[in-house]
Structure 1
Amino acid sequence: MSKYETYENYCRIAHNYFKGFVKDFKPSRKLKEAIKFTGMKVKPAEVYALAVASVFALLLLTLILFFVFILIGIINFAGILICIIFLLLPIVMYFYMKDYPILMEGKEKAHSSGDIPGVVSYLVMALRINPNMERAIKFAANHSTGTFEKVLKKMMYNIRTGKYSAERGLAVLGDEWGEVSPEFKRSMRLVVASTSDKTEGRRQETLNKAAEVLLTGLSERTGDSARKLHTPVMMVFTFGVILPLIFIALIPLASFMGFGVGAPLIALLYIIVLPAILYILINFIIGYRPVTIPPPRIPLSEYPEFKLAPFVILFGFLITLPGFLYLSGVKIVDLGALSMTPILLGISAALSGYFIGTSYRIKRMRDDIYAMEGEFGETMYQLGVILSEGRSLEDAMSRIKEMSRDAKSAEIFAIAANNVRLFNMDLKSAFFDSKAGSARKVFSDTIKSAVETIVAISSRGSASIASLAYRLSDHIKNMRAVDAEIKRTLGSVVSSMQIIAGVVGPLVGGMISGMSNVLAGSMGKVIAEGAGMFGFGTTAAAEPISPGIITIIVGIYVIETAIILISFSDDLIYGGDAVMKKYHLGLYIPAATLMFITSAWAAGVLIGGLGG
């Protein structure tokens, strides 16, 4: 079943009703390539039909709202302004749906591009042992995941059926992904060229160069990508977060001028329409994310069950009860405009508890893997040193633990050596046996592939294994250094997004909400005295929205923007990894909520008191 099945069905339905609008549609080459890459079972005309249908549907919704405004008697300047804002959604949605396959292609390539360093690493490791390109591609296919696993296995099929040679297949692969990663294209050409080198030394140098070109290129291009992302990020912050919050302060003024703006309309705008536009705009930006190395993949079978989920949800619900009771007229504690904020606290507590509970232990497992990978390069170097002394591989594996007492990666070799000696296992089983293998619970592709490479040449002399261990050590250290450099370079953009989501956005939202509530209270007194506003709007001022309702609407909007921005920042640096996204959402949602409530209270006190 296609993961785009729902989208494909909507495209076909839209085409049935709007085929007359798309009969002259001429699709771009980019759209055709995107449909082919993503594997969507749709025609370009059907994609365009859905874009047209979405415009008609949203325009119809806007028209319905317009008539509703007429029926309830708020067809004034404010109502017309809201309708105009609603008209932005069809425009944004049209371009989003029209380019949806292209956006998904960019998203998939951006996500899969994180596997590029791994693919090159597997090819280089395999070719260091044997200059057989077909076997190297098979090794890379068996260790890759996602898009590259499919691409490499399809390449193996084409090679075996004689469609093209292994060398030609890698060259084509480099060309296809050259737009996403130019350094990958250059690296593939060097990998292919390595099989033509006459001497072993020259071949190893070419393979070293292939890995170096990729890692250096990734590091340099990340800096350029981070600089290019700065302007879009600031535009999202300004027009997607701050500007809508500033308009909140104008609501009491609009009411005072006689332009009645109802709470349902504001809720619809701030809880649904504006977050939807922000989400769509972010999806246009995410395609510019640079190549990053993904975190270690842990099998779903190893994920611990979060048994406290029902209790977390119940706990969050209990926190919300005072807010809902106040909304229904039962005032347990009267905090003025903040009386319904327990609703925000309960929602954030439930979301935070669930996200942290389902990700924290997995993150700790990953942290252990990162620590093991960090020391593994040195472990491989020490293995090479011991082997250079003329000792056997089994003896070197036993002694390496003595040289690296605190290194967990050294235990992999020590336990494997005991398996060989005590249980008479062969070397491969000593590492990878499903019950007793020393590396069976090591969820690091880097470590496992390096160990497999050592096992593959274990029949050769100690000097050959030592030489390979030194090269693997350098390669792993370079990979770690580049990964650290990429994260450091992207850190400025990501930290800006996180500060905006967790601090600046909620702070501004709380201050504007508090100020709006004070203005609403002050103007409410004027309205009670029957004052108008110089002939603007109606002859009398409209009833202002309850300060508590404004606070809850803005609070929900702040939580939604925090979720969108934190998800975006994690997409940039972790490639959409669900575990890291959940973990950071669990941290920032309550932080944003508390910051919003605190700043709303402080603004109310400083400007004139929440009680009016």
Structure 2
Amino acid sequence: MFAKKKELRTELYLKESPSVVSMMSTVISPGGSIDSAVRYVADKGPKNTAKLFRDIVSDTDSRKVSDIRDCVYDLASSMPKGLASFRRALYIVISASETSDAAERSRMLKEATDIALGGLRETGEEYSSKLQTPCMVVFGLGIMVPMILLSIAPMLGMGDVIGMSMTIPESLLEEIILVIVPAAVAAVIISLRGRNPLREDSVSLDGLWKASPMLLAVPVYSMLAGYGFEETSALALAIGFPALFTYLLIQPDVRKETVRTKVECVLKDALFDLGNRMVTGENFESALVNSLSVRKECRAMAESLSREYVICRGDLESAIDRCISSVSVMMAGFVKDIYRASCKDVRDAGRLAIAIAHQLKDQDTVRKNLDNKLRSMTDMMSGTAAVFAPLILGLSIMMMGPLAAVSGAVDSTHAFTIVCIYLTELAVLMSAFGSMLSGRLSAENVIHRVSMTLPVAMAILVTCASISI
């Protein structure tokens, strides 16, 4: 079925494989069929794999194929070498769905989950090990090239003293620093994004309007220049203050997301408690409320859930949606799956909750380890834009002042203007790079990073450039 279709792209499906295997396991573990597992992923699974599984379901329902199991097997067989772990995991899941021994089925599903997680971990480690050279290239292009150009420009101009002038035209200097260097850095970043196993499929532009205070830079500069500020100070303040205002504007949303993420993590821990309570015979409704109420981050949610129980008239799924979806749609989906299982057997549903909790914990552990391996790179990029670049380029401007006065080459004020604009470009590029490495590339994330970087960079640049020698 899949032989004629174009080859699956590894980077799109590898990061989804643990979630897909986990979702299929939650259906098959209590005795569900491979058909039910595929339909579950097709309905609620990760975007790219869900589309593949919807095609399988559609072909099965329209009688184009007779057996959904064979379709999944064909899909797994068509996967490229980069998805070998996903392929092996699907083979094991198919085999697990056919065994009648519950213990053996659980063992096989655990093995499938471990294989999928191991594949993601190995790819992530391979990716992080290959970042050293590109990051050095970005560092060299982002700092060393502009620094060298700003340093040699006045020295070349000193050739007038001996009748051998070799000045660099200002237009060429601007073109190299403001266009060619940023374009080269952007090309390196884009080439790395496609290989990131944690990357998002698309860039979210939600929250782009929060960058609107940055547009105040031009009127702020005009106002400060009108009040008699030096051109260099006016330009740095015109860039730094709007960025600081943007940071203050976006910070409440960042804090809110941090709290939401923390509550989501606590919800994952609560699944263990929920499962243990249900295994001992406690019913789903009270077990869920009790497992949430003992955790301070979830007490308000537990109280809200208790009220919803009273007014939902038995529609517990809608009650769960109203109370939990605002924190995590994914967790609300898992809780509803456990509720449906509890309608058949409470103790089996409890074991399902524990299995889901273990799978989520394993996935989080793998992703956290990958984040930790990439953090040194993201910190280096943030430090480059916020500290190292303005520090080195500011000192370069400071040293070129006396030389420019002698040579008549690019004056330090014009060089300062070029550097200010360049540092703004570099902040955007490094923020996008850091956001991309973390796997959370979005307009809001990039804006938040830029708004933190620019005020610090402008302060360091002005301080270094104003030193007198």
Q: TM-score, normalised by structure 1?
A: 0.67
For residues 298 and 400 of structure 1, the distance between their equivalents in structure 2, rounded to whole angstroms, comes to 34
Partner of 1:62: none
Distance change in 2, residues 1:438/1:568 (3 Å):
same
Give yes or no for the alignment of 1:272 onto 2:179: yes
Q: Contact between 1:127 and 1:136, CA under 8 Å: does it hold in 2?
A: yes
Q: Which among 19, 26, 32 is matched to residue 125 of structure 1?
A: 26
Contact 2:142–2:181 (Cα < 8 Å) also in 1:
yes
Task: Report the equivalent of 1:428.
Answer: 317
Change over 3 Å in CA distance of 1:144–1:597 after alignment to 2: farther
Aligned to 1:488: 372
Note the C-alpha offset of 1:397.
Answer: 2.9
Does residue 290 in structure 1 map to residue 201 in structure 2? no
Q: 1:323-402 alignment to 2 at 5 Å?
A: 332-334=228-230, 339-351=231-243, 353-354=245-246, 357=249, 359-402=250-293
Contact conserved, 1:354 with 1:586, CA < 8 A, in 2?
yes
Per the alignment, residue 585 of structure 1 pairs with 450
Deviation of the 1:497 alpha carbon: 1.6
Q: How many pairs does the alignment contain?
A: 460
2:461 aligned residue (592, 596, 603): 596
Task: Work out the CA distance in 1 between the residues paired with 2:204 and 2:440.
Answer: 15
Contact 2:284 2:339 in 1 (8 A): no
Which residue, 206, 223, 231 being the options, matches 2:133? 231
Q: What CA distance in whole angstroms lies between the structure 2 residues aligned with 1:356 and 1:187?
A: 46
CA positional deviation for 1:370? 1.8
Measure the CA separation in 2 of the matches of 1:202 and 1:181. Answer: 25
Residue 56 of structure 2, aligned match among 124, 140, 155:
155
**1:272 is aligned with what amino acid?**
V
Can you give the 5+ residue segments of structure 1 that lack an aligned partner in the other structure?
A: 1-31, 38-104, 326-330, 525-542
> In the alignment, which residue of structure 2 is the partner of 1:574?
439
Distance 1:140 1:395, change over 3 A: same
Q: Which residue of 2 aligns with 1:50?
A: none
State the secondary structure of the residue aligned to 1:442. coil
Q: Return closer, same or farther for 1:182/1:593 CA change in 2, 3 Å cut-off.
A: farther
2:222 is matched with 321
Q: Following the alignment from structure 1 to structure 2, what is the Cα–Cα distance between the partners of residues 586 and 313?
A: 9
For the structure 1 residues 265 and 305, does the alpha-carbon distance in structure 2 shift closer, same or farther, using more than 3 Å as the test?
A: closer
Change (3 A) 1:591 1:116: farther
| C-alpha contact 1:388 1:462 (8 A) present in aligned 2 | yes
Q: Distance in 1 between matches of 2:45 and 2:289?
A: 31
Give 1:188 shift.
Answer: 2.2
Q: 1:549 aligns with which of 414, 423, 435?
A: 414
Aligned to 1:508: 392
In structure 2, the gaps of 5 or more residues are 160-164
2:354 aligned residue (467, 470, 488): 470
Aligned residue number for residue 442 of structure 1: 327
TM-superposed CA distance for 1:194, in Å, is 1.7
Give the share of equivalent positions with the same residue, in percent: 19
- Structure-2 residue corresponding to 1:538: none
Q: How many Å separate the matches in 2 of 1:388 and 1:573?
A: 38
SS at 1:424's partner residue?
coil
Query: Which deviations, in whole Å up to 9, do the C-alpha atoms of 1:465-500 show, x marking residues without a partner?
Result: 221122122122222222221211111222122212
| 1:444-477 C-alpha deviation (Å, 9 max, x unpaired) | 41x1231121122121222212211221221222
User: In the superposition, relative to structure 1, how do residues 389 and 168 fare at CA in structure 2: closer, same or farther (>3 Å)?
Assistant: same
My pick for the range that moved more, 225-234 or 589-598, is 589-598
Structure 2 partner of 1:247 = 149
Q: For the residues of structure 2 that align with 1:215 and 1:454, how far apart are their CA atoms?
A: 23
Kindly indicate whether the alpha-carbon contact (under 8 Å) linking 2:289 and 2:302 is maintained by their aligned counterparts in 1.
yes
**Contact 1:315–1:350 under 8 Å retained in 2:** yes
Residue 514 (structure 1) shift? 1.9
How far has the Cα of 1:283 moved from its partner? 1.7
Q: What is the distance in 2 between the residues matched to 1:322 and 1:412?
A: 50
Match status 1:217 vs 2:217: no
The superposition leaves residues 13-38 of structure 1 with CA deviations (integer Å, 9 ceiling, x where unpaired) of: xxxxxxxxxxxxxxxxxxx99xx68x
Distance change in 2, residues 1:518/1:119 (3 Å): farther
Letter in 1 for 2:296: D
The CA deviation at 1:287 is 2.7
Task: Name the structure 2 match of 1:207.
Answer: 109
1:226 is displaced (CA, Å) by: 1.2
Deviations 1:351-388 (A, max 9, x none): 5544663x534433332232122222331122222223
Deviation at 1:251, TM superposition (A): 0.7
Equivalent position SS for 2:323? coil
More displaced 10-residue stretch of structure 1: 546-555 or 111-120? 111-120
State the AA in 2 paired with 1:346.
Answer: A
Root-mean-square deviation (CA), in Å?
3.3
**SS at 1:288's partner residue?**
coil
Contact 1:134 1:166 (8 Å CA) reproduced? yes
Taking the aligned partners of 2:396 and 2:181, their CA distance within structure 1 comes to 17
- Write the distance in 2 (CA, Å) between the matches of 1:238 and 1:390: 63
Alpha carbons 2:76, 2:87 under 8 Å: kept: yes
1:261 match: secondary structure: coil
Indicate conservation of the 8 Å contact 1:111/1:576, yes or no: no
Q: CA separation of 1:427/1:565 partners in 2, compared to 1, >3 Å: closer, same or farther?
A: same
CA offset digits 1:377-419 (Å, max 9, x no partner): 33112222222332222232343345x14141x6556644543
